[in-house]
Amino acid sequence: MLLSARALILTAALLILVACSRDPETGPVRIKWDRDTCVRCSMAISERNFAVQVRGGPKKKVYKFDDIGCAVHWLKNQPWGNDTAIEFWVADYRSGKWLDARNARYATGKRTPMGYGFGATTEAPPGSIDFEEARKRILATD
With vertex at residue 137, the alpha carbon angle to CA 85 and CA 127, rounded to the nearest 5 degrees, is: 100
Which pLDDT score is estimated for 14?
A: 58
| Residue 72 confidence (pLDDT) | 98
Q: What is the pLDDT of residue 142?
A: 73
61, 54 contact by CB (below 8 A): no
**How far apart are alpha carbons 24 and 141 in whole angstroms?**
34
Strand partners, 64: 53
16 domain-assigned: no
How many domains does the chain fold into? 1
Residue 67 lies in a domain: yes
Res 9: pLDDT: 65
For residue 89, being part of any structural domain is answered with yes
Q: Which domain covers residue 87, as residue numbers?
A: 31-139
Give the model's pLDDT for residue 69: 98
What is the spatial distance between Cα 54 and Cα 69, in angstroms, rounded to a whole number? 12
Q: What is the pLDDT along the chain (142 residues), one digit of tens a residue?
A: 555 766 666 665 555 654 454 556 899 999 999 999 999 999 999 999 999 999 999 999 999 999 999 999 999 999 999 999 999 999 999 999 999 999 999 999 999 999 999 999 999 999 999 999 999 999 999 7
Domain assignment of residue 88, yes or no: yes
Q: Determine, yes or no, domain membership for 14.
A: no
- Domain assignment present for 46: yes
Q: Specify if 135 maps to a domain.
A: yes
Asked, for residue 21, whether it belongs to a domain, the answer is: no
24 within 8 A of 53, measured Cβ to Cβ: no
